[in-house]
């Protein structure tokens, strides 16, 4: 079947041409052969809907034409392919013509200085011809004839300097306001300037324009405007050679090789190609293409990633002038560029700081610190922000796992739904869209640089290595390092940085007169927030009693026999017995799993309703013995284990301690009688070793060395370092009243 718009009837000549062009072997390739086939198949006796006469509109002889349904399948397929090709070609030509019209419309804004001067010269000549003809009451043709006569006269007189200077250049307009000719003589004719004619003719030394050219100029101006008088580009750029794409394989890479190195690799690869491949480009050719034919963005594609290329592209500046506080909160995480002591283990770590900013005032309204950016940290930061400054309308973040998860996005029980917040995500690789929070994160770099453990990119390599080795050495010996900032010091620095930022003028905020100095300056985030409050802003606050429960994630579960399941754990409460086989909302805390909060499920809103009960983990399981008795037995058993382990540890420590027997005690002792004048030597008595006071625990050894540093021998220092390297040992010394910092300083000085 023919597709809409395709030809349905074909003459023998057309069928023969198609078969010949497509190389079909099963169909005649000549007009005579097709006629014989038609006679043989009886096509000429078929009805008019299948075979009919076609009259040649040019007056040629009529010919029979046949419907394509009579043709073999292979020929019908060839006809369809030919029609598709013709349609594609016509579409391509139409699109190219439309493109040319669009470029013609924009040509005036893209004209070069030379083309613009040519256009202006031609427009001035045409205006002068028309103005002169109108001033004389004549037609345009008459004015053109007078112009050409003046041009011929000038050519005849160009060798005579005196006659050439007879005319006087006029620039004023006549009484009718019409433009006068360029040059007039006493004979009331044209005498034109050669430079103006040459400029209009777009040729340096040709100062004459033909009649045909003048008429063409008028026609172009009348039909397409004055822009049509601009000359076409005299030199079109040739298409970039196909071999340049092969060169880009070595040049457009992230390592950013030089043009010379990339061209050398390109030539080496080209030498391995077959001889039929395109000719290789020279170094001067690729340099010209990169320098002239490509713009600054095109020549860096492949050498730079999308984030870097965006710095060269246009951008949109967003304004927040008509925005109230809490309309949009934006949040992002930043890995701290300095090491601090882990609050649990004391080992070095780089915490993650999650900050929340109000977009309208640029104020930091909340933060959270964690080991990594996760849903717990983000929830804590959002809880602080909403409870202290109000619930936001839009929460604008990136697409990280800490922000895009079921805890936030669940239809029923999701944090965003229960708070009534609309969450919006920035596009991937588009950090510029979150410029407010990205610029704020730079303040954490300043805090990190004030710490001795800073490890940013601009940190001196040798200084960083010294600090790294010192902290690891201290941790191996003492279990902690005085160089590492403590968790308390780090948190205090974070809060101080936020307070200073909120009080510092921000260039993204409006300017106002400082009440103290009277000078104009930008507002600080705190001042911008206070200004909105003074103008009537009231945040959407949260009741103090509902803060914890409101930020608790909820999920829909089905109650079974007074039990609900969450996270593969079973939680029980007797009050849930009446809710058997009904759906409820189960709320949970992110940092504890011993209980859950069970609420009614509102079918209409999909949100938690009235609190039913607080179910506990394994609340319906009974023990063989009461908990108190079992706990007492376990504690008794644990104390026995600790006592036995303590004896084993003490035995090992005794093996490492240095002998306490003084060598002098094995020699004969000389007794001196202070009352006698002579010194007598008694008979050697049996040698009795002199032993120092017995030391039974590590805590006693530590107190002895702190009281008398001379007692700290090499063996004892090794024992104490080993004790400090263990968390249990440090805890035992701390409970025994030993100052761990003083002991660490003593051991460090003895090293």
Q: Is residue 319, in this structure, part of any structural domain at all? A: no
Helix (H) or strand (E) holding 364, with range, is strand 364-370
Higher model confidence: residue 570 or residue 590?
A: 570
Do residue 24 and residue 96 come from a single domain? yes
Which structure tokens are listed for 659?
Answer: 């002998």
The segment with the largest mean pLDDT, out of 187-196, 285-294, 376-385, 631-640, is 285-294
Distance between CA atoms of residues 133 and 128, nearest Å: 8
Domain stops at, among 84, 104, 124: 104
Measured between alpha carbons, how far apart are the two ends of the chain, in Å? 98
Domain stops at, among 168, 199, 229: 229
Please determine, for residue 526, whether its predicted confidence score (pLDDT) is greater than 80: yes
Do residue 129 and residue 215 come from a single domain? yes
The segment with the largest mean pLDDT, out of 106-110, 522-526, 538-542, 615-619, is 522-526
pLDDT tens for 172-193 read 333 333 334 444 333 344 545 6
Domain stops at, among 229, 253, 281: 229
How many other CB atoms are there within 10 angstroms of residue 729's CB atom? 18
Which structure tokens are listed for 580?
Answer: 């058997």
For residue 162, name the pLDDT band (cuts at 50, 70, 90): very low
Which structure tokens are listed for 704?
Answer: 């002895």
Q: What is the CATH number of the domain that holds 24?
A: 1.10.10.10
Which residues on neighbouring strands pair with residue 422, listed in sequence order? 394
Do residue 126 and residue 84 come from a single domain? no
Secondary structure of residue 51 in the 3-state scheme: strand
Predicted pLDDT of residue 693: 53
Strand ranges for 494-648 from DSSP E: 511-513, 520-522, 554-558, 563-566, 569-572, 583-587, 595-601, 608-617
pLDDT tens for 407-463 read 555 444 456 666 677 777 665 545 555 678 888 888 899 999 999 999 888 888 888
Predicted pLDDT of residue 225: 75
Q: Is residue 545, in this structure, part of any structural domain at all? A: no
Do residue 332 and residue 299 come from a single domain? no
Predicted pLDDT of residue 56: 66
| Average confidence score pLDDT of the chain | 75
For residue 42, name the pLDDT band (cuts at 50, 70, 90): confident
Q: pLDDT over 70 for what percent of the chain?
A: 70
Calculate mean pLDDT across residues 538-549. 70
- Residue among 134, 144, 194, 138 at smallest CA distance from 164: 194
Do residue 72 and residue 116 come from a single domain? no
Do residue 497 and residue 604 come from a single domain? no
Do residue 96 and residue 197 come from a single domain? no
Predicted pLDDT of residue 677: 44
The segment with the largest mean pLDDT, out of 375-389, 497-511, 609-623, is 497-511
Domain count, the chain: 6
Higher model confidence: residue 271 or residue 592?
A: 271
Which residues on neighbouring strands pair with residue 616, listed in sequence order? 572, 595
Predicted pLDDT of residue 503: 92
Which structure tokens are listed for 124?
Answer: 């001035």
Tallying the residues shown for the chain, one arrives at: 751
Q: Who contacts 137 (Cβ-Cβ below 8 Å, separation ≥6)?
A: none
For residue 497, name the pLDDT band (cuts at 50, 70, 90): very high
Do residue 443 and residue 467 come from a single domain? yes
Please determine, for residue 709, whether its predicted confidence score (pLDDT) is greater than 60: yes
Q: Residue 274: which domain range? A: 243-304
Calculate mean pLDDT across residues 710-714. 85
Q: Who contacts 595 (Cβ-Cβ below 8 Å, separation ≥6)?
A: 571, 614, 615, 616, 617
Q: Is residue 629, in this structure, part of any structural domain at all? A: no
Predicted pLDDT of residue 638: 74
Predicted pLDDT of residue 174: 38
Distance between CA atoms of residues 431 and 421, nearest Å: 22
Do residue 225 and residue 249 come from a single domain? no
Q: Is residue 136, in this structure, part of any structural domain at all? A: yes
Q: Is residue 645, in this structure, part of any structural domain at all? A: no
- Residue among 365, 362, 367, 389 at smallest CA distance from 506: 362
Please determine, for residue 35, whether its predicted confidence score (pLDDT) is greater than 60: yes
Do residue 295 and residue 339 come from a single domain? no
Distance set, CA 567 to CA 65, 115, 232, 585, 586 (Å): 79, 76, 75, 14, 11
Predicted pLDDT of residue 168: 40
Which structure tokens are listed for 637?
Answer: 């058993």
pLDDT tens for 199-224 read 777 765 666 788 888 888 888 888 87
Which structure tokens are listed for 732?
Answer: 């035992």
Q: What letter does residue 190 receive in the DSSP assignment? A: B
Q: Is residue 145, in this structure, part of any structural domain at all? A: yes
For residue 663, name the pLDDT band (cuts at 50, 70, 90): very low
- Give buried/exposed letters for 394-426 (b at 16+ CB in 10 A, else e): ebbbbeeebbebebbebebbbbebbbebebeeb
pLDDT tens for 339-367 read 998 877 788 888 889 899 998 899 999 88
Q: Considering the entire predicted model, what is its pTM?
A: 0.47
For residue 691, name the pLDDT band (cuts at 50, 70, 90): very low
Quickly tell me which residue has 């009795």 as its tokens: 688
How many other CB atoms are there within 10 angstroms of residue 390's CB atom? 19
Answer yes or no: are the C-beta atoms of 75 and 24 closer than 8 Å: yes
Q: Who contacts 475 (Cβ-Cβ below 8 Å, separation ≥6)?
A: 346, 347, 348, 481, 725
For residue 525, name the pLDDT band (cuts at 50, 70, 90): very high
Calculate mean pLDDT across residues 369-378. 69
Do residue 444 and residue 570 come from a single domain? no
For residue 305, name the pLDDT band (cuts at 50, 70, 90): confident
Please determine, for residue 313, whether its predicted confidence score (pLDDT) is greater than 80: no
The rounded radius of gyration (Å) of the Cα atoms in the chain is: 48
Q: Is residue 640, in this structure, part of any structural domain at all? A: no
Do residue 265 and residue 123 come from a single domain? no
Distance between CA atoms of residues 654 and 264, nearest Å: 72
Predicted pLDDT of residue 713: 87
For residue 502, name the pLDDT band (cuts at 50, 70, 90): very high
Q: What is the CATH number of the domain that holds 361?
A: 3.30.420.10
Please determine, for residue 158, whether its predicted confidence score (pLDDT) is greater than 90: no
Q: Is residue 75, in this structure, part of any structural domain at all? A: yes
């Amino acid at each position: 079947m023919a597709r809409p718009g395709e030809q349905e009837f074909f003459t023998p000549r057309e069928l023969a041409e198609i078969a010949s062009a497509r190389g079909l072997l099963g169909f005649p390739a000549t007009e005579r052969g097709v006629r014989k086939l038609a006679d043989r198949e009886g096509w000429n006796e078929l009805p008019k809907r299948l075979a009919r006469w076609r009259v040649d509109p040019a007056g040629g002889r009529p010919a029979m034409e046949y419907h394509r349904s009579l043709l073999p399948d292979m020929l019908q397929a060839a006809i369809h392919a030919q029609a598709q090709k013709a349609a594609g070609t016509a579409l391509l030509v139409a699109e190219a013509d439309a493109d040319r019209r669009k470029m013609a419309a924009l040509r005036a804004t893209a004209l070069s200085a030379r083309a613009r001067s040519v256009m202006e010269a031609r427009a001035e000549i045409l205006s002068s011809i028309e103005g002169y003809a109108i001033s004389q009451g004549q037609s345009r043709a008459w004015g053109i004839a007078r112009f050409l006569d003046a041009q011929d006269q000038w050519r005849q007189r160009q060798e005579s300097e005196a006659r050439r200077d007879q005319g006087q250049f006029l620039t004023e307009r006549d009484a009718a306001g019409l433009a006068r000719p360029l040059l007039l003589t006493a004979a009331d004719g044209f005498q034109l300037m050669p430079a103006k004619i040459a400029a209009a003719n777009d040729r340096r030394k040709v100062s004459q324009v033909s009649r045909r050219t003048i008429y063409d100029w008028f026609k172009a101006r009348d039909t397409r405007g004055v822009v049509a008088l601009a000359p076409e580009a005299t030199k079109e750029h040739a298409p970039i050679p196909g071999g340049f794409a092969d060169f880009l394989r070595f040049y457009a890479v992230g390592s950013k090789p030089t043009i010379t190195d990339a061209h050398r690799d390109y030539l080496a690869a080209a030498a391995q190609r077959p001889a039929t491949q395109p000719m290789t480009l020279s170094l001067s050719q690729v340099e010209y293409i990169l320098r002239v034919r490509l713009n600054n963005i095109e020549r860096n594609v492949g050498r730079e990633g999308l984030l870097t290329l965006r710095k060269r592209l246009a951008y949109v500046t967003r304004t927040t002038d008509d925005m109230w506080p809490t309309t949009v909160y934006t949040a992002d995480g930043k890995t701290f560029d300095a090491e601090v002591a882990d609050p649990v283990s004391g080992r070095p770590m780089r915490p993650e700081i999650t900050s929340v900013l109000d977009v309208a005032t640029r104020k930091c309204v909340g933060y959270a610190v964690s080991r990594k950016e996760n849903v717990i940290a983000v929830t804590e930061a959002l809880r602080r922000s909403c409870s202290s400054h109000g619930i936001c309308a839009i929460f604008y973040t990136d697409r990280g796992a800490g922000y895009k998860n079921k805890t936030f996005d669940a239809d029923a029980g999701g944090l965003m739904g229960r708070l009534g917040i609309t969450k919006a995500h920035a596009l991937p690789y588009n950090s510029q869209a979150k410029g407010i929070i990205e610029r704020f994160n730079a303040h954490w770099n300043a805090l990190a640089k004030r710490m001795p453990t800073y490890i940013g990119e601009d940190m001196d390599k040798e200084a960083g290595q010294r600090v790294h080795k010192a902290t690891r050495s201290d941790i191996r010996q003492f279990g902690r390092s005085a160089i590492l900032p403590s968790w308390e010091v780090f948190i205090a620095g974070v809060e101080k940085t936020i307070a200073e930022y909120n009080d510092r003028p921000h260039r993204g905020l409006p300017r106002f007169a400082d009440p103290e100095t009277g000078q104009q300056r930008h507002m600080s985030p705190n001042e911008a927030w206070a200004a909105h409050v003074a103008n009537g802003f009231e945040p959407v606050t949260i009741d103090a009693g509902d803060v914890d429960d409101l930020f608790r994630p909820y999920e829909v579960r089905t109650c079974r026999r007074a039990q609900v399941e969450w996270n593969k754990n079973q939680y029980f409460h007797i009050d849930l017995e009446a809710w058997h086989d009904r759906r409820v909302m189960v709320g949970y805390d992110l940092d504890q799993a011993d209980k859950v909060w069970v609420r009614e499920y509102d079918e209409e809103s999909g949100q938690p309703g009235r609190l039913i009960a607080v179910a506990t983990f394994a609340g319906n399981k009974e023990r063989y013995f009461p908990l108190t008795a079992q706990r007492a037995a376990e504690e008794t058993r644990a104390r026995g284990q600790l006592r036995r382990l303590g004896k084993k540890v003490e035995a090992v420590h005794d093996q490492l301690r240095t002998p306490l027997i003084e060598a002098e005690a094995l020699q004969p002792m000389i007794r001196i009688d202070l009352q006698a004048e002579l010194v007598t030597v008694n008979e050697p008595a049996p040698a009795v070793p002199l032993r120092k006071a017995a030391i039974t625990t590590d805590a006693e050894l530590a107190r002895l060395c702190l009281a008398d540093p001379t007692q700290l021998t090499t063996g004892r220092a090794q024992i104490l370092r080993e004790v400090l390297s263990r968390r249990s040992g440090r805890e035992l010394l701390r409970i025994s009243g030993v100052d761990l910092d003083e002991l660490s300083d003593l051991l460090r000085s003895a090293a």
